[in-house]
Amino acid sequence: MDNFWAHLARPFTVLAPLSGFTDRAFRQICRSYGADVVVSEMASVAALVHSPEKALERLYFNEIERPYVVQLFGADPNQFGEAARLVTNRIQPDGLDINCGCPAPKIIKEGAGAALGADLPRARQAVQAVLSNTSLPVSIKLRAQNKDISAQQVVAYLADLPLAAVTVHGRSVSGGFSGPVDPGAIALCRPYVAGVLIANGGIVDLMTAQIMLQKSLADGIMIGRGALGRPWIFQEIKEGREINLTWTELTELIRRHAQLIVAYKGEDGLIEFRKFLAWYVKGWPQAKALRAQLMQIKTLSELENVITSVSA
Ligand SMILES: Cc1cc2nc3c(=O)[nH]c(=O)nc-3n(C[C@H](O)[C@H](O)[C@H](O)COP(=O)(O)O)c2cc1C
């Protein structure tokens, strides 16, 4: 199958996998602002093997999201292989990604995420199992430093495998989500990555995007939290200019996003949409009072009442 990564115009942008956020509604919003690739929330290979229908349900997508990558997490290379075959056949995304960097204690305890990334022979088996069970391009996502193992050591160890892309989150596993980002540690991976190299971590605007691209030697950048409340960050980077939405434009976006949520999840989905609303109004005048009202909404009409009551 086609390796779409190789054909992307560089530098390209990728919406990061964000568990609890990057569902099909948000992925479509980010694609509409020019994200070149979008990634699913991480999907458990154990769940895909044991309760496939339920696990597959969360991975369906709309054609307009392409190129769409499904990210897998887990511990057992055999399950990675089985899950890769299932997702390739049933979901037919454009790529598969392997999570080798998640620091959440729950994930590490099961031997997945950063625990997989720290166990090089097992990580290699997982990559090989996925490669043997899919025709899709395969990528991995890892941290710059994982205990005493650097991303450079991991990619050197995997350099003979045909990985189409490698994403390095420029923080250490122990740095969690707020520690310093080291673009230099990403650049050190460059010689070992035959596919595309993607830099991630702390990109929140045009300037941080440009600095990351220069210092990391990456082909593209991946953005997570910088897209929450500001999905137009992809357009800013593409057009090389800062974009500030008016309140009217922002409310149009909020409506569009809410309608997609309701289309896919029903009005019940608006309860979990509240966390997006908090991001959207961050920094607006009276954000605190506005947020308090938005945290109560249960229906589209209640949402409409709150956003039209503001004359920002
Ligand atoms: C709420 C949340 C959920 C995340 N879920 C995932 C995930 O499912 N898979 C993954 O590889 N990384 C996940 N990450 C890490 C992000 O993909 C990204 O590497 C990290 O947030 C750094 O990028 P940023 O500074 O642009 O947010 C998550 C991060 C956050 C904050």
Tokens 């899919």 belong to: 134
| Atom 3 of ligand 1: nearest residue by CA position | 18
Rounded CA-CA distance 120/118 in Å is: 6
| CA-based nearest residue to 8, from 265, 253, 177, 197 | 197
What's the pLDDT at 285? Answer: 85
pTM for the model: 0.98
What's the pLDDT at 286? Answer: 85
Rounded CA-CA distance 59/74 in Å is: 16
Are residues 212 and 221 in contact, defined by beta-carbon separation less than 8 angstroms?
yes
311 CA distance to ligand 1 middle (Å): 34
List domains and CATH numbers for the chain: 4-239 (3.20.20.70), 247-308 (1.10.1200)
259 CA distance to ligand 1 middle (Å): 25
Tell me if 16 CB under 6 Å of ligand 1.
Answer: yes
Q: How confident is the model at residue 310 (pLDDT cuts 50, 70, 90)?
A: confident
111 CA distance to ligand 1 middle (Å): 18
pLDDT higher than threshold 90 for residue 287: no
Q: Which atom of ligand 1 is closest in space to residue 141's alpha carbon?
A: 11
Rounded CA-CA distance 166/163 in Å is: 7
Render pLDDT for 77-103 as a digit per residue (tens, 0 to 9).
999 999 999 999 999 999 999 999 999
Are residues 197 and 217 in contact, defined by beta-carbon separation less than 8 angstroms?
yes
| CA-based nearest residue to 232, from 311, 223, 66, 109 | 223
Which one is catalytic: 30, 100, 102, 189?
Answer: 102
Are residues 70 and 93 in contact, defined by beta-carbon separation less than 8 angstroms?
yes
pLDDT higher than threshold 70 for residue 292: yes
Tell me if 19 CB under 6 Å of ligand 1.
Answer: yes
Are residues 241 and 206 in contact, defined by beta-carbon separation less than 8 angstroms?
yes
Query: If 0-12 CB within 10 Å is exposed, 13-18 middle and 19+ buried, where does residue 216 land?
Result: buried
Residues 6+ apart with CB under 8 A from 159: 192, 193, 194
Are residues 221 and 37 in contact, defined by beta-carbon separation less than 8 angstroms?
no
Is 102 among the catalytic positions?
yes
Mutate to test the pocket of ligand 1, among 19, 44, 211 (most ligand atoms within 8 A of CB): 19
Tell me if 42 CB under 6 Å of ligand 1.
Answer: yes
Helix (H, G, I), strand (E, B) or coil at 84: helix
305 CA distance to ligand 1 middle (Å): 33
17 CA distance to ligand 1 middle (Å): 6
Backbone angle region of 127, left / alpha / beta, with phi > 0 → left and psi within -120 to 50 → alpha? alpha
What's the pLDDT at 1? Answer: 67
Tell me if 71 CB under 6 Å of ligand 1.
Answer: yes
Render pLDDT for 192-239 as a digit per residue (tens, 0 to 9).
999 999 999 999 999 999 999 999 999 999 999 999 999 999 999 999
Render pLDDT for 13-24 as a digit per residue (tens, 0 to 9).
999 999 999 999
The one-letter amino acid at 262: V
Please state, for a pLDDT cut of 90, what percent of the chain lies above it.
97
Overall average pLDDT of the 124-130 stretch = 98
Are residues 104 and 131 in contact, defined by beta-carbon separation less than 8 angstroms?
no
Helix (H, G, I), strand (E, B) or coil at 40: coil
What's the pLDDT at 311? Answer: 63
Render pLDDT for 147-192 as a digit per residue (tens, 0 to 9).
999 999 999 999 999 999 999 999 999 999 999 999 999 999 999 9
What's the pLDDT at 246? Answer: 95
